[in-house]
Amino acid sequence: MHLLSSGRVITSLVAAADLGPDDLVIDFGAGPGTITAPLARTGSRVLAVERDPRFVAGLRRRFDDRPHVRVVHDDLRTVRLPRRAFAVVASIPFAVSTPLLRRLLTPAASGFCRAELVVEWGLAKRLTAARPRDAESAWWSCRFALTMRRRVPAGCFTPAPRVDAAHLGVRRRSDVDRRVSAILWALLSAAHRRPGSPARVALRGVAPPRITQRLLGDDPAPEITTDTWLALAKTLATDRNVSPPRGMP
Ligand SMILES: C[S@@+](CC[C@H](N)C(=O)[O-])C[C@H]1O[C@@H](n2cnc3c(N)ncnc32)[C@H](O)[C@@H]1O
């Protein structure tokens, strides 16, 4: 287990979240409370989720006198998420980063709105690439602005992991509504079904060829940027003849 030991990284994680007393924030994999403590000082309501009973006991003792901190003994992959708007600030084991991101970023509607996360460097690089390489990363990056804030060298943890990490910022895009999302889901699912062929060809029958030709050209789906996918979905959303398909997650 690699505990964050750099005060500078912890301070910048919490500062980037810009939390106040009206906010609800979750620290997933809270461990000894290294991040929980500065989160508690922001005055927000804090949920510290931890699976290891020894850490849970320590967290309960440490935050006993802080009524706005609740320690939840549960698994981050299955714990019930709040319905109300919430933020996440966390440094979690690299092995459960993707399951957690899936829970936060995949559902079209949820209370999740933003996060400051420590994840493996390679994962952060992949998620913040201008050209998402699969339908899932495109779905995430079109609906959330994913920003590489900084590299977090392995030496910032005790003990140091084998690879560096990154501080990743996540913000829900306010200009992507349910209709745009539904169209986006249909476009990405169809275009990535045959990722080697030009996306505009894969989208025949899903979107009007005059629009896909102009925006997508002959590029296959993994070569199309997040910005272009978003522009296409927003253009189609303004066309009242396009009915938003069902089946979004
Ligand atoms: C890398 S440590 C980070 C601890 C602390 N956040 C820090 O930065 O120092 C990961 C923590 O996540 C906990 N953890 C691992 N898998 C978990 C899971 N599935 N659900 C909840 N907590 C988990 C571990 O017990 C450990 O305390």
pLDDT of residue 241: 72
Q: What spatial distance separates the first Cα and last Cα of the chain, rounded to whole Å?
A: 33
Choose one of 92, 103, 116, 152 to mutate for the ligand 1 pocket test, by most ligand atoms within 8 angstroms of C-beta. Answer: 92
d(CA 113, ligand 1 centre) in Å? 22
Which strands, in side-by-side order, build the sheet including 24-28?
69-73, 45-50, 24-28, 86-91, 112-120, 165-172, 144-152
Confirm or deny that 29 is annotated as ligand binding. yes
Tell me how far the alpha carbon of residue 242 lies from the centroid of ligand 1, in angstroms. 45
Burial of 88 (0-12, 13-18, 19+ CB in 10 A): buried
- Ligand 1 atom, smallest distance to 75 CA: 20
69 alpha carbon to ligand 1 midpoint, in Å? 17
Has 18 been labeled as part of a binding site? Answer: no
**pTM of the predicted protein model:** 0.95
Give the CATH fold of the 3-172 domain: Rossmann fold (3.40.50)
Report domain extents, the chain. 3-172, 178-237
Q: What is the pLDDT of residue 40?
A: 98
Q: If we measure between CA atoms, which residue out of 152, 171, 197 comes closest to residue 16?
A: 171
pLDDT higher than threshold 90 for residue 249:
no
99 CA closest ligand 1 atom index: 19
Q: Using the mean position of ligand 1's atoms as its centre, give its distance from the Cα of residue 161 in Å.
A: 14
pLDDT, mean over the chain: 95
Whether residue 38 is predicted with pLDDT greater than 90 in this model: the reply is yes
Question: Which ligand 1 atom minimizes the distance to the CA of 93?
Answer: 1
Q: Considering only CA atoms, which residue is closest to atom 27 of ligand 1? A: 31
118, 153 Cβ separation under 8 angstroms: no
Confidence grade of residue 248 (pLDDT, cut at 50, 70, 90): confident
**pLDDT at site 133:** 94
Ligand 1 atom closest to Cα of 118?
8
How high is the pLDDT of residue 157?
Answer: 96
Percent of the chain with pLDDT over 70: 99
Q: What is the pLDDT of residues 144-201, one digit of tens each?
A: 999 999 999 999 999 999 999 999 999 999 999 999 999 999 999 999 998 889 999 9
> Binding residue per annotation — 4?
yes
Pocket lining for ligand 1, CB < 6 angstroms: 1-4, 29-31, 34-35, 49-52, 55, 75-77, 91-93, 96
